[in-house]
A and B are shown apart, each in its own frame.
Chain A
Amino acid sequence: MSWKEAFGPQVLQPRWSGPALQFFSDANALCRHLAKHMLTHPESLAWSVAFSSLDYVVPADDRDRLWRMRQAMGQQSEPPPELVAIYRDAIREAWEDAEQMDWIVTIGDVLVGFGTSAVLVLAERDGQRWFQRTAFLPGHGEPAEPRRELRSGRDASVGPYEPIHVRLLKRRAQAWTAQQRHYYLVFRVAVQAIRERHWTRSEWNENARPCDYALLKSKLPSPSQQIDDWLAARQRCGRMP
């Protein structure tokens, strides 16, 4: 099965009254996005929490194998169909949820939506059609975080610094339900990341794009909201078993 067959219909006719949405039509672009998001640690970890079926396809915590998968995909320009199918479903669900929850914003030729799974989708208008540009889990894709020298310890016995949500993932997540893991480790972090962005044009570089998805922040729930609110949103979108 080719990746196009795995992806299914290339055009999504959304339930909202806007124009149709064209999914990735170029294998290279799709490979690039899969590699950058689903196959790059630590975002891969978050994807595997949000979409458990990914566990069978992606070794989310094994950086070496992730690297080999990225290499292979880059050489063949052909993403694994199973991976494509999960990505497609994630994107489709995110658009549907965004519409249902009104977590959707249009600014000029850019359309940004956010799903209850924490997938953020971004499309751009070209003529009469919206073209999918990217889909990712905000707040999880920053492998190059600044070093924390101060946290490196006054003596060698102090363990390395890790962000709190990563410590949670490693130590507590096993005792949680899948929904708790999804909420605390993925969704809440993503909302927080979006809300911390600013939509402003750089005064130093007119060509730099503003952070389009920062526009969503006024629509999203506060990260201090409780898991019950998120579960209710999931239910409303038909995402609960």
Chain B
Amino acid sequence: MSDADRLRRTHLRAATRGLLDPRLVVERWLADAQSLSLLLGDEPGDADCQDAFDVVAARGRLRRADAELLWSLKGERTLAWLERTIQGDAGRELVRSALRVPDVAGWLRQAEQLFEECEVGVDFAWRAEVARTLITDLDDAQLVELAARQCDLADVPLAEQLAQAQDWLTRHPETFLAASVWIQSVGFALREDLAESDANLAGTSEKFAILLDEIEEAEADLSLENIPALPSVITQALFQTAGGTVDVAEDARRPSLPDEAREGWPEIYRIAAWRDLPRVSAAAAKATSQRGLSDRLCWESPDGTRRASLRMRDALDAGGETTITLAFERLPDSDELSLEDLVGKSLTLGGAEARIERREVGGEAVACAPIVVERMLAGTDEYLVLNVAGQTWWPAWS
């Protein structure tokens, strides 16, 4: 992937749906810079530390901006003002003053807090706003530190702290996912030839590439792109190789599988892959289903005659829990077999227990079981194991 492609992800959903507006991002940078020029005029001697920090950061940001966008927004005059302001002894004083602002320890505290809030599901819009603020502040501080280095005012402690902050961001990129659309827009607002034209400046954009990698991965996970569809024949063979019959007598409620057998299970069957599900409502589950994601989670009976699949589109919220349906069907080669013999049998799926019921759908009798999502995901096993009447069913793809 080229450096430009690392920042411009044209295939992500926000880009394909036309949600990105890099022009707006540059407009915002310009408007802030213009406000600074109004604030300080040609006498930057009046600037306090906060003004100085903004001026130095704004200059770095606009230097890094896509030249065509900047030109189309008539931003050259503003950039020229910023360049003038940073020059000479007065400029050095401004940079020196700006260096007094960034409190990276405070940034880390706030980022940790946002990380924890993600776990407890704080309002999405608020998280997006905080994430955007945190990224902007870190970016500004890195631009100020770079400017300091370039005018022989290198601040080693600050550089080390910023490296720690960047390291934290690299290890916890998911913390910032709420600001995904804005991050993608920034990627498009940066100049394509940044790496060739100014390697140091390009270094400050690395965090956006890291965050974009995370967005791409999250999107691929949600759309199951990362997960190869294993034919059920292969998964079944893997089970058999590993001797994967479950000792139901030992623990019928929570069947465990040999480690070798688990390795053959597609990633989507991992409970961790669904860890966000308890926070979502039935409406969200239905929306997930409409995108065709979850209905592909299926299991086949050991004799290969039946299939069970989760139907998220039937999700219901009641009593603080979300219930979805596990529907049973005959596989094509077993038409003569009835589903009726499943009715009344008990099953476990993850940590959820249920009994198979007979329901009338469109005048036809079907076998299905209500599964409480929260209990399903509370299973102690790492994978979503379906056990029907003491038999483990194989993971399969519809």
B-binding residues in A (CB < 8 A): 145-155, 157-159, 161-162, 164-165, 167-168, 171-172, 184, 188, 192, 195-196, 198, 200, 202-207, 222-224
A-binding residues in B (CB < 8 A): 19, 21, 24, 27-28, 30-32, 34-36, 38-39, 48-51, 53-54, 73-75, 99-104, 106-107, 109-110, 124, 126, 129-130, 133-134, 137-138, 140-141, 158, 181, 280-281, 283-284, 286-287
* Chain A residues whose CB sits within 8 angstroms of the CB of B34 once the complex forms: 224
Cross-interface CB contact of A206 among B27, B35, B100, B287, cutoff 8 Å: B287
Are A205 and B133 within 8 A (Cβ)? no
* Chain B residues whose CB sits within 8 angstroms of the CB of A171 once the complex forms: 39
Name the 10 nearest CB pairs between A and B, nearest first. Answer: A149-B106, A150-B137, A150-B107, A206-B283, A149-B110, A146-B133, A146-B130, A164-B35, A223-B31, A158-B49
Are B30 and A196 within 8 A (Cβ)? no
- A-B contact sample (14 more), CB < 8 A, given A146-B126, A157-B100: A150-B102, A150-B138, A152-B106, A153-B101, A153-B103, A154-B99, A157-B49, A158-B101, A164-B32, A164-B39, A198-B181, A207-B283, A224-B30, A224-B34
Is chain B's interface secondary structure helix, strand, loop, or mixed overall? helix
* Chain B residues whose CB sits within 8 angstroms of the CB of A151 once the complex forms: 50, 53, 101-103, 137
* Chain A residues whose CB sits within 8 angstroms of the CB of B158 once the complex forms: 154
Are A195 and B24 within 8 A (Cβ)? yes
Q: How far is the CA of A142 from the CA of B318 in the complex (A)?
A: 35
Are A155 and B38 within 8 A (Cβ)? no
* Chain A residues whose CB sits within 8 angstroms of the CB of B36 once the complex forms: 164
Selected A-B contacts with CB under 8 Å, 19 pairs: A150-B103, A154-B100, A155-B100, A157-B100, A164-B35, A164-B36, A164-B39, A168-B39, A171-B39, A184-B38, A192-B31, A196-B24, A198-B181, A203-B284, A203-B287, A204-B280, A204-B284, A224-B27, A224-B30
Are A172 and B31 within 8 A (Cβ)? no
Q: How far is the CA of A105 from the CA of B82 in the complex (A)?
A: 38
Shortest C-beta distance, B277 to chain A (Å), equals 11
Contact A153 B24, CB 8 Å, known A162-B50, A184-B35, A203-B287: no
* Chain A residues whose CB sits within 8 angstroms of the CB of B38 once the complex forms: 168, 172, 184
Shortest C-beta distance, B9 to chain A (Å), equals 18
* Chain B residues whose CB sits within 8 angstroms of the CB of A158 once the complex forms: 49-50, 100-101
Contact A167 B51, CB 8 Å, known A150-B102, A150-B103: yes
Shortest C-beta distance, A30 to chain B (Å), equals 26
Q: How far is the CA of A157 from the CA of B134 in the complex (A)?
A: 22
Closest to B284 in A: A204
Cross-interface CB contact of A224 among B73, B99, B102, cutoff 8 Å: B73
Are A192 and B27 within 8 A (Cβ)? yes
Closest to A200 in B: B19
* Chain B residues whose CB sits within 8 angstroms of the CB of A192 once the complex forms: 27-28, 31
Are B19 and A224 within 8 A (Cβ)? no
* Chain B residues whose CB sits within 8 angstroms of the CB of A184 once the complex forms: 35, 38
Q: Interface centre among A148, A184, A188, A205, by most B CB within 10 Å? A: A148
Is chain A's interface secondary structure helix, strand, loop, or mixed overall? loop
* Chain B residues whose CB sits within 8 angstroms of the CB of A202 once the complex forms: 124
Contact A150 B73, CB 8 Å, known A167-B51, A195-B24, A207-B283: no
Q: How far is the CA of A184 from the CA of B36 in the complex (A)?
A: 12
* Chain B residues whose CB sits within 8 angstroms of the CB of A195 once the complex forms: 21, 24, 27
* Chain B residues whose CB sits within 8 angstroms of the CB of A165 once the complex forms: 35
Shortest C-beta distance, A178 to chain B (Å), equals 16
Q: Interface centre among B50, B134, B281, by most A CB within 10 Å? A: B50
* Chain A residues whose CB sits within 8 angstroms of the CB of B103 once the complex forms: 149-154
* Chain A residues whose CB sits within 8 angstroms of the CB of B107 once the complex forms: 149-150
Q: How far is the CA of A224 from the CA of B26 in the complex (A)?
A: 10
Are A222 and B35 within 8 A (Cβ)? no
* Chain A residues whose CB sits within 8 angstroms of the CB of B28 once the complex forms: 192, 196, 223
Shortest C-beta distance, A237 to chain B (Å), equals 23
Are A153 and B104 within 8 A (Cβ)? no
Are A205 and B75 within 8 A (Cβ)? no
Contact A146 B100, CB 8 Å, known A172-B39, A184-B38, A200-B19: no
* Chain A residues whose CB sits within 8 angstroms of the CB of B140 once the complex forms: 150
Shortest C-beta distance, A35 to chain B (Å), equals 22
Contact A159 B48, CB 8 Å, known A184-B35, A195-B24: yes
Closest to B111 in A: A149
Closest to A195 in B: B24
Q: How far is the CA of A157 from the CA of B21 in the complex (A)?
A: 38
Contact A147 B74, CB 8 Å, known A161-B50, A168-B39, A200-B19: no
Closest to B133 in A: A146
Shortest C-beta distance, A220 to chain B (Å), equals 11
Are A150 and B39 within 8 A (Cβ)? no
* Chain A residues whose CB sits within 8 angstroms of the CB of B281 once the complex forms: 205
* Chain A residues whose CB sits within 8 angstroms of the CB of B53 once the complex forms: 151
Are B110 and A147 within 8 A (Cβ)? yes
Closest to A222 in B: B27
Are B109 and A149 within 8 A (Cβ)? yes
Shortest C-beta distance, A206 to chain B (Å), equals 4
Are A154 and B73 within 8 A (Cβ)? no
Q: Interface centre among A148, A151, A155, by most B CB within 10 Å? A: A151
Closest to A165 in B: B35
Q: How far is the CA of A205 from the CA of B285 in the complex (A)?
A: 10
Cross-interface CB contact of B106 among A150, A162, A172, A188, cutoff 8 Å: A150
Q: How far is the CA of A188 from the CA of B38 in the complex (A)?
A: 13
Are A159 and B35 within 8 A (Cβ)? no
Q: How far is the CA of A162 from the CA of B109 in the complex (A)?
A: 20
